A and B are shown apart, each in its own frame.
Chain A
Amino acid sequence: MKSLLQFLSKYSILLMFIALEVLSLILVTTQNQYQRSAFFSSANSISGWTYSIYSNISSYIGLKKENQVLQEENTLLKNQLTMLENQNEALREGLAADYTYADHDYNFISARVINASVNKNHNYLTLNKGKRDGVRVNMGVVNSDGVVGIVCSVGERFSTVIPAINTDAAISCKVKNSNNMGFLKWDGRDYRYCQLKDMAKHIELNVGDTVLTSGVSSIFPSNIMVGTIKEINTAESDAYHQIVVTLSTNYNQLGYVNIVSNNTQIEQLAQEHEYMD
């Protein structure tokens, strides 16, 4: 017993060092990307608050350009709205009027990006909306250019998002005008490009084709812009195409985004919870 105590006091600093290192390595390895506690991420109130103050100040710098982009998007949406209204009218006349949509019902929650990184393998964004505003884990995030990412942890007033440029992210995609689905992965190199995986070799693709969300996962509505095919490098021995996609979203200049809240998904999850309890 005495020699044990002597040993402990002699090597106390080394033991403490090892204990702390083990603790931090446990933190590194056990953090579950999707169910992570909001306390230890930038969605907690102190860091969220710091970032939102900073972003309040710095957002004035890009305000003019942001305004212009919003203006343009507004016009575009208005045009689409009138077009759809006309189309709807025509369809309703054709369909005896009491047709209800079976499709998913999506709502959008507007939010501002208050912190973002592009230079890591595991990049994250922080948004200034949280549980209070109806944000939940696994909601999709889009902006006027296209897909941004998926919500991974939610605090009371802030939330963090795994963007497409995180090596853990995978977003279900399709190529426009075909129903072949694949998924989007990032290799950790350049934040402007992603890889499109799981596209079998027999599928005919061209450089410049548009990549859209597939809508099967119900995280994103279908047909949201992801990017365009930049190059296809398929070797003779490959079973799948090696596709590089230019992302339509510029992750270096994110301002305002929309969080996609899927009403049927919430109902579905609530039901699943009931069965579990």
Chain B
Amino acid sequence: MNIWIKNILRFLIVMCLQILLINNLQLWGLCSPCFYLLFLFALPPTLPRWAELIIGALTGLIIDIFTNTLGVNMAACILVSYLRPIFIKTMIQDNDRLTDTLNLKTVTPSVYIRLITILIAIHHFVLFNLEAFSLSNWWLTLIHIVLSSVATLLLILLADILVD
């Protein structure tokens, strides 16, 4: 399949799942996974960096419009899009970088898990702190970050295993 169609399809499926299904999961109000990060992680590693930044910004903005959190997801996604190529460069071998997507099957699993764990942690840290916008309930925010990060990681790995 054409790499464009593949990514657009992935975008639509991931966004629908996030907005209609995952955002409605309310586990004690403390766990809100961001499954849509899968789309940003799976973008082709060869994508120009400016394009990746713009795609990240738009993805975050769309999520924000649906969840009434203007700018919050956008800021976190831009950061992920900025950091992903840097991490890819430092963590992944040259011959792996030439594939047209990044997932559990195209790069060494341990490297891939380490890469997305760091990105998810950074993303969630920015996201939930911006969302709370205060330090008054910082421990609550921290629990929120940790639980959601774990849930996001598991969901993304599950999706990678289930879908080819």
Contact = CB atoms under 8 A, between A and B. Distances in A.
Interface of A: 12-13, 16-17, 20-21, 23-29, 31, 36, 40-42, 44, 47, 50-51, 54, 115, 117-122, 124, 126, 160, 187-191, 252
Contact of A26 (B57, B69, B71, B130): B71
B79 A42 contact: no
A24 B23 contact: no
B100 interface: no
A50 B65 CA distance: 12
B65 A120 contact: no
Interface in B44-91: 49-50, 53, 57, 60, 64-72, 74-75, 78-79, 82
29 contacts: A16-B50, A20-B53, A20-B57, A20-B78, A21-B78, A24-B60, A24-B71, A24-B72, A25-B75, A27-B70, A27-B74, A28-B70, A28-B75, A31-B71, A36-B70, A40-B70, A41-B70, A42-B66, A50-B19, A50-B20, A117-B68, A119-B31, A120-B32, A120-B67, A121-B133, A122-B68, A122-B69, A122-B131, A160-B68
B18 to A, nearest CB: 12
A21 B78 CA distance: 7
A124 B75 CA distance: 20
Instruction: Give the size range of B's interface with the partner.
Output: 20 to 34
B140 interface: yes
Contacts of B64: 27, 40
A24 B75 contact: yes
Interface string B16-51: 000110010010011110000000000000000110
Instruction: Say whether chain B's binding surface is mostly helix, strand, loop, or mixed.
Output: helix
Interface of B: 19-20, 23, 26, 29-32, 49-50, 53, 57, 60, 64-72, 74-75, 78-79, 82, 130-133, 137, 140
Contact of A17 (B30, B78, B133): B78
A162 B57 CA distance: 26
B65 A40 contact: yes
Given A17-B78, A28-B71, A40-B65, A117 B53 contact: no
